[in-house]
A and B are shown apart, each in its own frame.
Chain A
Amino acid sequence: MSPRRERLLRAWRRLWKPPRRLRTTPAGRTYLVLCFGVGLGALNTGNNLLYLVLGLQLSIIVASGILSERCVRRVEVRRLLPAAPRARSPFHLAWGLRLARGQSFALSVAEVHPVLGVAVGRLAWLPAGEELVVRAVATAPRRGPVHLSAIRLATTFPFGLFVKIRDVEVPGDLLVLPGRVLPPPEPPAPSSGLGLEQRSLRGLDGGGDLAQLRELREGEDARRIHWRKSAQLGILLRVERDAQPQPRIVLQLDDRAPAEALDGRCEELAARAELLLARGAEVGLECTGGLSVKPGAGAFHSHAILQALARAGQTEEAG
């Protein structure tokens, strides 16, 4: 769709979408029933004082609309997304609220999203000229990108009868990383679609000067054994040097699997990648769909792997 057409379409939608929405609270519903009752009583009896009370009740609704509009109209809002939200783990959604002039009361902020919209941040008072950050705890059930289109500002001020809602269009994307699971003890079977391949070691013996000799542990590479000293002492000793060799591991993922199974595999690989990276290995990722991350180490690389795993196999947004 051409940008011009998209703009026109958006304008058309906005034309038919009310700028504000109003929802009644339980007290508001009772109030409306009372209004109806008083109105009925006034019509039935012709009692002028009932007309006066009815007029006051209706005016209160109008005044409520005006005051609540003043609360939400000029609020500027920006989204402060969390850096590494994990699926099924609570994380903080935050919004920065600012008001150029005036003041707002009893604000609540939430994302316009079916899942993340449950998390609501609240603020009693927003004075002018100061940005206040409102936080809410959210949980995403699945990994993957979440497209956020708008932020919902709402207020029950002044009388708590209605919730005045204003949706502010602030497009943004939140990438939910795979959830945390315990890494499996054994490497996955080749047939599982979850590959783990040790491609190479950087040098057989590490690099640098000899640092120390220590007893060879079970499972360690026999090529590191210092044979002369081992023969002298009668136990197997291995050489340790200043620069230890880093294993370079490329994780392989078949991302054509069904969504739920793929989520599980991604979480498992994420756990494995984090474990390997924590142990100092260089970890890469290759997906059958073409997505890949070159092997690397460190926290930043860990985030890159997790982000790749979050996006693996995703054609629609998560959440």
Chain B
Amino acid sequence: MSTERLRLVLRDLAAAAAFAAMAISGQVPAWTIALFFLALVVALTGRRPLADGRLSAVALLLAVILLYAAVMVEQLDLVVAACITASLLTAQRMLSRPTPRTTDQVQLASLLMIAGGAVLSADLLFALCLFGYTALAVLSQGLSVVAASGPGPFPSTSRVFRPLAGGLALAMAGALLFFVLFPRLSWNVAARRGGASLGGGTTGFADGLRLGGSGVLKSNPRVVFRARIDPDPGTDALDAYWVGRRYDTFDGVQWSTRGRPSPPVRQVTLGPVEADLVRQEIDLLPAYGSRTLVALDAPVFLGDAESHQATFTVRTELIPSGDREVRLLGPSEHVTYRALSATDRAGPAPIDAAEKARRLQLPKYIDPRILALAGTLSEGAVGDRAIARQLERALQTGYGYTLELPGRVKDPLADFLFDRRQGHCEDFATALAVLLRAKQIPARVVVGFHGGERAAGEYLVRAGDAHAWVEAEVDGHVLRLDATPPQHRSAAETGLTGWFLARWEALQIRWLDRVVEYSLSDQNRLAQRFRGGTATPDRPASRKAGRGAGVALGVLGVALLIAALLGRRAAAGDATVLGRSLQRLLRRRGRLGPGGWLDGAPVDEVELLPVREGIARYREARFGRRPLGPGEARRLVRRARQALRGVPSTSPTTPERPASRA
């Protein structure tokens, strides 16, 4: 690939990375993505159809006018419109005649896209895009500057890249240091928070649970919330149920909830707050995408919810709907709250008659085979608890688990129980609840999450951990029943991709914690730490900030070292490297003269032609002002080595040790 072509490819790829930094936010319209992608493909093939650029410039101007008209009528966000403008401008410049000016314009418009991405997205992918853009833009711009600087010998690309790589490392380290140390003093005039990133909110608790869904959520590895649990279970994979919402009314296809929500409150108490409770600090991430709060089964208290805005945090109120659901008053993409849960359900859970009737109600139309099946499966069991357990076991063992379901069917429950005999957690939970009701045991379906993966002292729960199970009232007590086969309760295994995504999500959490949420208070703690101040073990943030600064300084040190080494290597020049290599080869073979072959002895004393050529060339390059060409030193050393391989070594043998002291 020619240098010019390489330069343009790097430039276009840098623009692509910058565009990706915006596109991962999920807020850029699909048509913009398609248009930019098309322009990128055309540009990468080396075609520049907009060489003239006048017509396309007019079209671009019209598009920008339309975009801002859409902003005026509130059809489009201003930042998104600016991002689209930058991407259209970049695409137009990419397809224009490649001149130094257009290259500069592409780079600067790409920088605008990066800034737009920083506003729109808070995803870890943004960091990758930023790094990719910086690296590609630095290399491309360096090549452009050298190419545009006029005549003379043009260096090989590796020679240009070497100092640029040092500069890139330096820039990265400097950026990190600036990020850590620059005071976070904000005017908060136009604060805006990054969204839920590509894919938006994923869990989305709905008002109803409709059977017949495909269950794609089960294979989604995105972390939707994280929780710090006290006392810490200390296990890597948590076997626990996180209650989100309870449904009590089933119409044959869909579960729903009846009951009116209470007025907003700060704290919601659902049961007796006793001493022996599990305390949870839960952090709902932007990917959560729902206002329903979750807590470990069985929650007795939820409260102290805080909604984290871009530059401030505000207490938010909760709306309880009995024990069916507790939801946030308003939407928020990042919420933290506290919850307390009872570890066992030893105590009675009395319910009133109306509630009991609701939990026993069967759909108006129910397949008579289901009622018969309830009798068949519970045959032999005595007592409600035994019947419930037998039905649970029967479903676990007698039915298969699948996420690949057909489209909507008229009676999904009958379809699951008698035709397909395969389904996912919602099918199992519904079947069990209906069978229990058929046996006059009050039951309702609960949706939430199952599981949790330990990371950095916290438990991460993924969208794929979404689950549904049943709560039955047996002998005055609430009994949790889960008919789904145990191996399919948590997130579906997705092999290597799943493993990778899981690690990625863990990184994402750290990114959000240490970069996106980095604040002035972290900096204060860092300053105190450096003053030898009052850092205490119960201040993890101070440790975090200190570590961040340490990492930044370390990276800066390494970058400076690399730059210095690269500089030294570049300064030494190929001639010195060639000389050293040849000298080393000759020394190994014992053919290095007493004064050093390369510093004065006649070249003819080396009988091998390739070695002689190498030495002569070294001298020319070092003292004769005839520099080596690209890769010439490597070639010469290789040839010398090959030539010396066939020559017996004349190095003096090591003198034998005396066998014994005289």
Contact = CB atoms under 8 A, between A and B. Distances in A.
A124 B150 contact: yes
Most B C-beta atoms less than 10 A away, residue of A105, A122, A130: A105
A52 B119 contact: no
Interface in A70-118: 70, 101-103, 105-108
Interface in B159-196: 159-160, 163-164, 166-168, 170-179, 182, 184-192, 194
Given A105-B149, A160-B145, A129 B108 contact: no
Question: How many B residues are at the interface, by size bracket?
Answer: 35 or more
Given A27-B104, A51-B184, A160-B141, A127 B174 contact: no
A26 B177 CA distance: 28
B336 interface: no
Interface in A12-30: 26-27, 30
Contacts of A58: 174-175, 178
B98 interface: no
Interface string B115-144: 101110110001000100010001001101
Given A62-B174, A158-B163, A49 B627 contact: no
Interface stretch (A35-43, A244-252, A266-274): A35-43
A57 B107 CA distance: 12
A213 interface: no
Contacts of A53: 114-115, 118, 130
A188 interface: no
A208 B440 CA distance: 150
Contacts of B112: 34
A48 B191 contact: no
Most B C-beta atoms less than 10 A away, residue of A45, A62, A66, A70: A45
B119 A106 contact: no
Contacts of B182: 51, 54-55
A49 B126 contact: yes
A278 interface: no
A158 B142 contact: yes
B199 interface: no
B189 A159 contact: no
B188 A46 contact: yes
B179 A67 contact: no
Interface in B548-582: 563, 567, 570-573, 575
A124 B144 contact: no
Contacts of A26: 104
Most B C-beta atoms less than 10 A away, residue of A55, A59, A128, A156: A59
Nearest to B628: A127
B179 A48 contact: yes
A43 to B, nearest CB: 6
Contact of A48 (B130, B518, B571): B518
Contacts of A44: 186-191
A63 interface: yes
Given A47-B192, A158-B163, A59 B171 contact: yes
A26 B102 CA distance: 12
A101 B574 CA distance: 10
Contacts of A107: 149
Nearest to B180: A55
A44 B112 CA distance: 17
A284 B32 CA distance: 81
Most A C-beta atoms less than 10 A away, residue of B121, B122, B167, B182: B167
Contacts of B567: 70, 102
Given A45-B192, A55-B176, A159 B141 contact: yes
Nearest to A105: B146
Given A53-B115, A62-B174, A129-B627, A108 B149 contact: yes
B190 A45 contact: yes
B420 interface: no
A168 B286 CA distance: 59
Contacts of A38: 115
A70 B163 contact: yes
A160 B151 contact: no
Interface stretch (B364-372, B375-383, B532-540, B618-626): B618-626
A52 B170 CA distance: 14
Interface string B191-233: 1101000000000000000000000000000000000000000
A125 B152 contact: yes
A56 interface: yes
A40 to B, nearest CB: 9
A64 interface: yes
Contacts of A210: none
Contact of B155 (A30, A124, A131): A124
Nearest to A37: B115
B152 A122 contact: yes
A127 B188 CA distance: 51
A269 B104 CA distance: 53
Nearest to B121: A49
Given A44-B186, A59-B171, A52 B152 contact: no
Nearest to A42: B186
B516 interface: yes
B153 interface: yes
A31 interface: yes
B127 to A, nearest CB: 8
Given A49-B516, A58-B178, A129-B573, A157 B142 contact: yes
Most B C-beta atoms less than 10 A away, residue of A60, A123, A156: A60
Interface string B507-542: 000000001111000000000000000000000000
B186 A45 contact: yes
Contacts of A276: none
Contact of A159 (B142, B154, B570): B142
Contacts of A34: 108, 111-112, 115
A58 B174 CA distance: 8
A128 B571 contact: yes
Contact of B175 (A45, A55, A102, A131): A55
A101 B152 contact: no
Contact of A67 (B167, B186, B515, B627): B167
B571 A102 contact: yes
Contacts of A55: 174-179, 182
A158 B164 contact: yes
Contacts of B649: none
A134 interface: yes
Nearest to A135: B151
Contact of B108 (A27, A62, A67, A127): A27
A134 to B, nearest CB: 7
Contacts of B570: 102-103
Given A47-B118, A59-B178, A124 B146 contact: yes
Given A158-B138, A160-B100, A47 B119 contact: yes
Interface in B589-626: 621-622, 625-626
Interface in A275-302: none
Given A44-B186, A45-B186, A56-B130, A63 B516 contact: no
B167 A48 contact: no
Nearest to A128: B573
A132 interface: yes
26 contacts: A41-B115, A43-B186, A44-B189, A45-B119, A45-B192, A48-B179, A48-B516, A49-B119, A52-B175, A54-B182, A56-B130, A58-B178, A64-B167, A102-B567, A102-B570, A105-B145, A105-B146, A105-B155, A108-B149, A123-B150, A127-B155, A157-B142, A157-B145, A158-B145, A158-B163, A158-B167
Q: Which 5 A-B pairs have the closest CB atoms?
A: A122-B150, A59-B174, A55-B178, A46-B186, A106-B149
Given A38-B115, A45-B186, A59-B175, 16 more contacts: A46-B188, A49-B122, A50-B118, A53-B115, A53-B118, A58-B175, A59-B174, A62-B171, A67-B164, A101-B573, A103-B159, A105-B149, A108-B150, A124-B154, A128-B571, A160-B144
Interface of B: 100, 104, 107-108, 111-112, 114-115, 117-119, 121-122, 126, 130, 134, 138, 141-142, 144-155, 159-160, 163-164, 166-168, 170-179, 182, 184-192, 194, 310-311, 515-518, 563, 567, 570-573, 575, 621-622, 625-627
